């Protein structure tokens, strides 16, 4: 997969980095401590047109290419992982409509999502259906010109603050999750919809992860995405692309931790010299930088694969997410080590980054699920194909 | 009504500064940005355009080809078009040479207001706005904390030691602004994309009817030495003592220097 970073990419990076360093980074510790969604930063990102990056220009978006979208998320995540979820989830929630929605749905929802007036969330995961998406149980029963949705979702990022959600429910329970699931657009003010609880989490604490209840929630047929029974396919196609957001977020977290570690090591004196002058520290920083760069370049290559609509897209995006997530975890862990005791306390940002990094190994498909996807692509390439019944799903949280 | 905002590309404030062998700032060695004080001039111009007082906002810069990046960034914030005067003969131009070139370009663009930041972040001479006004024979409204345009008049507010002055002059004028005009906006993504479609015109000295000898021959200053400021003594730290003892130590330190 070939790609080239253009002057436009570098310009975007410079602009978003300036915004992130000046306005987002100073808020990061407070967001983590208070566990409150940063509404001010959501408004800021909206004002700078950064919430419609994945939406076409004709609907008010900016229609950025894949690498630009990755740079946008990466630079925000370098400052604060919670805030990077705002554009990420705006993209994730809208992707089912981008991929399978009709013109009417795009016209009704995209302008409000692109402007940031509305937030969207992606409602797929259930308490008993994480990696195993096909075992979803939520029902959608057609009555007259409306579906009635009943059941519950769990681990839904922004589920409690979104104005609208893309939700997956069984229209044909007998056919099972793979054939009997359909996708819907649900507005959050519809009677019967509630978000009774948000989770207490290790990281990305300012980003509400909600449990959702659906009690006979009426959804007009006009809000079904695609045909009945296409839900599983739409969900998988969405995740095949959206996991690049997680990869970009992971690269950004790693870069933020690396930058903090280098700055600290250059300043800290022990045994009469700068800590960075010890070879043991230099080797750690060199490994952290090399791994981060490798994850970044694989992520960009996967972005180019999305833009090129390659047949083996899941191979690229899962490989990028796998490598980037593991890199974020390893690099942030090492960053804490470089800072020593100071790395372990909240006076410095790296312990927060380490806690934030963990989620990139879990959501939108655990690292184990990514390996399943990659292995399946390998078998397809070898002409063997896969008869595995195990569904490749998103894993906890979406 | 038309404003031309003059902007300079400078090394980022925090960047390490290096000099070439002939004592010029090495601009290739560091990250370059729009002079932060010029961003306030951009902001003031765009606010006037948004209020309807001004129809057209253009940008003008003199510098190497890479200064076009600063002009693109300004156009991403808003405004209409940009002009870059670039010529190998201009390397090392002093404030006076710069002012002559900008004045010639401004004569060609003929704006109602030629707007600048109050100083550049690298040299901090603060001479160019006054020099440009003098060369062009126009009123200078300097150090404005606010600029208003009414009818044929430009009016500024300038802070002084006890309050502020209101100063006005008939258009056209040269004006410079302080950081009091309002926080510069960030370029929005749509602004960045729109800026790629805006025109950036490049002029040489010949395009302005100037000769290298005429401009540089008129240089009034010469850099004879450049050196880093002397290192400050290390910061004294008062650590691991009780609050009362710390207060006493700090008070003693201040008293020893007759500061309290």
DSSP result, A188-231: TTSTTEEEEEE---SS-TTS-EEEEEEEEEEEEGGGEESSTT-H
Q: What is the rounded CA–CA span in Å between residue B16 and residue B19? A: 10
Contact status of B198 with chain A (Cβ, < 8 Å) = no
**pLDDT tens column, A198-251:** 999 999 999 999 999 999 999 999 999 999 999 999 999 999 999 999 999 999
User: pLDDT band for position A256 (50/70/90)?
Assistant: very high
Local confidence pLDDT in tens for the 260 residues of chain B: 999 999 999 988 777 777 777 777 777 767 889 999 999 999 999 999 999 999 999 999 999 999 999 999 999 999 999 999 999 888 878 888 999 999 999 999 999 999 999 999 887 888 999 999 999 999 999 999 999 999 999 999 999 999 999 999 999 999 999 999 999 999 999 999 999 999 999 999 999 999 888 777 667 788 888 887 888 888 888 888 899 999 999 999 999 999 98
Instruction: For chain A, give every residue range classified as CATH 1.20.140.10.
Output: 239-381
| Paired tokens of A17 | 């980095």
Largest CA distance in chain B: 71
User: pLDDT band for position A391 (50/70/90)?
Assistant: very low
Domains of chain B by start residue, with CATH:
2-216 (3.40.50.620)
Q: What is the rounded CA–CA span in Å between residue B125 and residue B146? A: 22
Q: What is the rounded CA–CA span in Å between residue A299 and residue A284? A: 23
Give mean pLDDT, residues A125-154: 95
pLDDT at B29: 65
Give mean pLDDT, residues A35-57: 97
CATH of domain A7-114: 1.10.540.10
Q: State how beta strands A193-198 and A164-170 pair.
A: unpaired
| Of A105, A45, A52, A107, residue with least CA distance to A77 | A45
Instruction: For chain A, give every residue range classified as CATH 1.10.540.10.
Output: 7-114
Task: Determine, for residues A48 and B193 on separate chains, whether the beta-carbon distance falls below 8 Å.
Answer: no
- List CB contacts (< 8 A) between A50 and chain B: 189
pLDDT at A386: 60
Cα of A10 to nearest chain B Cα, Å: 11
Contact status of A11 with chain B (Cβ, < 8 Å) = yes
Contact status of B15 with chain A (Cβ, < 8 Å) = no
Domain range A120-231, its CATH number among 2.40.110.10, 3.40.50.720, 3.40.50.150, 1.10.8.60? 2.40.110.10
Judge contact between A148 and A216, C-beta under 8 A. Answer: yes
pTM attached to this predicted model: 0.88
Q: What is the rounded CA–CA span in Å between residue A334 and residue A328? A: 10
Confirm whether A364 is a catalytic residue.
Answer: yes
| Of A54, A278, A49, residue with least CA distance to B192 | A49
Task: Determine, for residues A62 and B190 on separate chains, whether the beta-carbon distance falls below 8 Å.
Answer: yes
| Of A6, A3, A355, residue with least CA distance to A207 | A355
pLDDT above 50: residue A321: yes
pLDDT at A82: 98
Peptide bond before residue B172 is cis, with ω within 30 degrees of 0: yes
Task: Determine, for residues A11 and B189 on separate chains, whether the beta-carbon distance falls below 8 Å.
Answer: no
Let me know if A384 is exposed, middle or buried by CB neighbors in 10 A (0-12, 13-18, 19+).
exposed
CATH fold for domain A239-381: Butyryl-CoA Dehydrogenase, subunit A; domain 3 (1.20.140)
- List CB contacts (< 8 A) between B193 and chain A: 62
pLDDT at B212: 83
User: pLDDT band for position A395 (50/70/90)?
Assistant: very low
Q: What is the rounded CA–CA span in Å between residue A134 and residue A132? A: 6
pLDDT at A258: 98
Q: Which residue from A8, A12, A49 is facing B190, i.e. has the nearest CB?
A: A49
Give mean pLDDT, residues A97-123: 98
Question: ipTM of this predicted complex?
Answer: 0.84
Task: Determine, for residues A15 and B192 on separate chains, whether the beta-carbon distance falls below 8 Å.
Answer: yes
Phi, psi of B167, deg, nearest 5 = -125, 135
Which residue in chain B has the smallest CA separation from A46? B188
């Amino acid at each position: 997969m070939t790609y080239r970073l253009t002057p436009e990419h570098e310009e975007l990076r410079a602009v978003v980095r300036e915004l992130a360093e000046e306005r987002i980074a100073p808020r990061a510790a407070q967001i983590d401590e208070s566990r409150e969604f940063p509404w001010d930063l959501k408004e800021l990102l909206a004002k700078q047109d950064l919430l419609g990056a994945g939406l076409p220009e004709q609907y008010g978006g900016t229609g950025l290419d894949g690498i630009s979208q990755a740079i946008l998320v990466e630079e925000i995540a370098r400052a604060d992982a919670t805030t990077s979820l705002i554009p990420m989830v705006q993209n994730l929630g809208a992707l089912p409509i981008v991929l399978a929605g009709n013109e009417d749905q795009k016209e009704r929802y995209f302008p409000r999502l692109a402007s940031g007036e509305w937030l969207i969330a992606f409602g797929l995961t259930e308490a008993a259906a994480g990696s195993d998406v096909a075992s979803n149980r939520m029902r959608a029963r057609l009555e007259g010109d409306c579906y009635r949705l009943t059941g519950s979702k769990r681990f839904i990022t922004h589920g409690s603050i979104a104005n609208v959600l893309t939700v997956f429910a069984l229209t044909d329970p007998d056919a099972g999750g793979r054939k009997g699931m359909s996708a819907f657009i649900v507005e959050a003010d519809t009677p019967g919809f509630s978000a009774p609880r948000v989770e207490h989490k290790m990281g990305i604490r300012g980003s509400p992860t909600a449990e959702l209840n659906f009690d006979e929630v009426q959804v007009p047929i006009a809000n079904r995405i695609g045909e009945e029974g296409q839900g599983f396919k739409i969900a998988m196609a969405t995740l095949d692309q959206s996991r690049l957001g997680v990869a970009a977020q992971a690269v950004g977290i790693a870069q933020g931790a690396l930058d903090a570690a280098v700055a600290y090591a250059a300043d800290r004196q022990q045994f009469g010299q700068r800590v960075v002058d010890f070879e043991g520290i230099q080797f750690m920083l060199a490994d952290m930088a090399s791994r981060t760069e490798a994850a970044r370049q694989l992520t960009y290559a996967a972005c180019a694969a999305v833009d090129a609509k390659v047949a083996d897209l899941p191979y690229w995006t899962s490989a990028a997410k796998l490598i980037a997530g593991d890199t974020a975890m390893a690099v942030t862990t090492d960053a804490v080590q470089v800072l020593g005791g100071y790395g372990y306390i909240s006076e410095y940002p790296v312990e927060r980054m380490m806690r934030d990094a963990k989620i990139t190994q879990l959501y939108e498909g655990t690292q184990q699920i990514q390996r399943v996807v990659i292995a399946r692509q390998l078998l397809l390439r070898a002409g063997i194909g896969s008869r595995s019944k195990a569904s490749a799903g998103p894993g906890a949280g979406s | 009504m038309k404003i031309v905002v003059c902007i300079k590309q400078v090394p980022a404030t925090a960047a390490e500064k290096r000099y070439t062998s002939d004592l010029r700032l090495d601009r290739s060695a560091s990250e370059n940005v729009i002079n932060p004080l010029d961003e306030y001039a951009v902001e003031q111009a765009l606010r006037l355009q948004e209020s309807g007082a001004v129809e057209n906002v253009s940008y003008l810069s003199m510098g190497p080809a890479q200064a076009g990046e600063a002009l693109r960034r300004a156009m991403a914030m808003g405004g209409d078009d940009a002009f870059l005067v670039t010529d190998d003969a201009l390397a090392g131009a002093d404030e006076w040479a710069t002012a002559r070139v900008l004045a010639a370009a401004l004569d060609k663009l003929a704006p109602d207001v030629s707007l600048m930041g109050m100083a550049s972040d690298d040299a901090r001479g603060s001479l160019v706005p006054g020099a440009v006004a003098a060369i062009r024979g126009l009123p200078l409204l300097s150090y404005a904390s606010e600029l208003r345009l009414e009818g044929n008049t430009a009016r500024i507010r300038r802070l002084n030691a006890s309050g502020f002055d209101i100063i006005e002059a008939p258009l056209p004028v040269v004006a410079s602004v302080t950081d009091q005009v309002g926080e510069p906006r960030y370029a929005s993504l749509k602004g960045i994309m729109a800026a790629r479609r805006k025109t950036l015109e490049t002029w040489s000295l010949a395009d302005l009817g100037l000769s290298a000898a005429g401009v540089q021959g008129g240089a009034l200053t010469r850099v004879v030495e450049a050196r880093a400021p002397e290192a400050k003594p290390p910061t004294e730290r008062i650590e691991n003592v009780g609050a009362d003892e710390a207060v006493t130590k700090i008070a003693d330190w201040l008293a020893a220097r007759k500061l309290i």
